[in-house]
Structure 1
Amino acid sequence: MTTLWPTSYYTSEEHLALEQERIFERSWICAARSSDIAAPGSFVRVGVGRESVLLVRKKDGDVRALINLCRHRGAQLCLEDGGTFKNSIRCPYHGWTFNLDGHLVGAPFLHELPPETKERHLFTARAEEWLGYVWVNLDPTAPPLAEQVGPLLRKRFGDEDVPGNYGCDELRVAKEVTHEVRANWKILYENFCECYHCPTMHPEICQILPSWRTGYGTVSGPEGPKQDGSPLADGATGFSLSGKAAAPRLPGVPEKDARTFHGILLWPNVHLMFIPDHVMCMRFEPLGPERTRVVTQWLFHPDAISTPGFSPDDAAALVEVTAMEDFEACERVQAAAHSAYFEEFHTPHESLILEFRSWVHQILYPEAEGRAKETM
């Protein structure tokens, strides 16, 4: 069965605005690495949907997500990508000052201003930390992060807490690569929802994960996700271009996963890989209806990173070679989306795409669930 989407879903500014409003501004979004704001007062500026958000580490260790907009005349408070606030955030326009909770604590001639001025605190978003990342939700009424990711985790891994075995909170970013791809974020995300293209396009990764030559990866299969993961090829010791491990096995990884690849997609825009010696996180950020920023981070144990001669490049190279092949294919689909003849057909190998599309439609059109046209 194929769920058809009109081409405007890939090309329309208006449709992207709807997705920003109802998906990216109402879902939990993986926004930054917790270690980026480890010290009290440290902050990073991130984009969530169409909003600029300041993630600030408070003295008590909690993270506060503050909308980067002064409550006086609406100026952006901060233009830097990151840094450290001492005890407050001061707007450079008129000098209104807010504490790290976002409460207004000072303004020129405050005693002469209307009493309600003192209540003009910064707008805030919700923030939670999980897997060593800060997740942000602009919707104050949204359920906790666990309710968004829990069903996806259970379907992929069953009752086992596979991500918990990799100690993601303790890992550090050993390498980060950012690409801007000329394709809609959904085209890219759906590419990673299936491995039907792997035997055709990805000889490098199929050499390391031979089971992928069947057209099924780990996130989908003829009987659903492979909860046991995908075994490394005989002779391979790691998930890398050379087939060699880049570091010792992570401390919490059980023996049964010592030679196993696990992957999962966490809607709307996160792709995680769990490998014995490291974790990879890929995030998809829409920049326009036909442009997407893809941020990939490789996470290793700090002891491995500090070892003389350590390099993440071999492990990163396998993902980078594969990703560049994927990006080129996605750009071909995007270019064709302008054709009057554009249509899609999904094989059983691509069943996760249908689940993703169903989720998108439920979020975009809750009042008309199932609005997408279905054809056999």
Structure 2
Amino acid sequence: MPSAHHRKSAVVLLDTRERTPEHEHAVHLKLAARLAQLLGCHAVLPEAPIRGDSHYYYLPTETLVDTERYAALGISGEQDFFGGLVSQPYMATKAISHPLPPDARFPHGWTNEFAPQASTALLRGYTVFSKVDARRAAQLLLLEGPLRIKPVRACAGRGQQVLTQADELEPLLANIDERELGVWGLVLEENLSNVQTFSVGQVRVAGLTCSYYGTQQLTRDHQGAEVYGGSELIVVRGDYLALLQRPMEDCLRMAIDQAMVYEHAAEQHFPGFIASRRNYDVARGITAQGQVRSGVLEQSWRMGGASSAELLALQAFADDPALLQVCASTHEVYGAPDLPPDATLFYQGNDSELGQLSKYARIRQHRHSE
């Protein structure tokens, strides 16, 4: 339980997006209720009040940008919200995962210090904030093989394209707004084949910390497209070092090490950075030269697809002090499946955009201290 100094009276859903799909809003309210249970308060406010209060605990829909603005709401530390807070827009996206090309433009607040410190955790690539620099970065990367163009604000791989020659870049650049590019950036990255993506993360709520690694699954939506279908996580009580103490394959150990390097560089070089929810996608694949390469693709300092499993795991640790590890999973199923008996339902309904959809989480394989 949180100390009296940090005791919260309500969990507030802080929706900073222009539009939130109905199925996501329903899940967010369920997550807020779970957080309220962990924090020992029972009130959930479905929208932010006009004035902040240090006794509110916030659940933002996105990584918050602008430390001064949210300090006025009462968000001054990780005990005040579930997610992350950064001082500049680009810090909230995968734009931080690469350095600039030589002599490139950059936005206010950009730091050249992050990428060198995180270099052992990064794939080859560049972040650019202008079309001129995008062309230069593409020429440099194409010398060694195909590259992947990655819009920095898209999720689940949407909008990404693989290029094998420079002239394929122009139609893509024509569709990009120069002003938005100047604020948020664009990533150009070496393209890997036979990719396996791991999730590495940590959450800290109500004085509890748990860390995890896992994998994501794909499923098919009602149109037959492959989309996110859930995550399978091994969650331990404690920090990343506690996670590394359990037996695992070398590729997983490397993914956790790389997530730690990436996170430490962010803590060192992004002034005002705070996060109580940290998640990293780490890709392992084969380069055009046939070499195995591993690196952090991006961070998620906000609630995400795995957060229902994260909160169920935290509650399990809160309920049982002897519990050391669980397997926690999230599931997104298109249709109306028979749910397993141990499922915790977060959404089931006919979404106006996606059709019949079920979202649930499970906890199993508990391991206790001797």
Higher strand share: 2
Say whether the fold is shared (TM-score over 0.5). no
TM-score by length of 1: 0.26
The structure, 1 or 2, with the larger RCO (C-alpha pairs under 8 Å, 6+ apart) is 1
Give the structure with higher Rg (CA): 1
TM-score by length of 2: 0.27
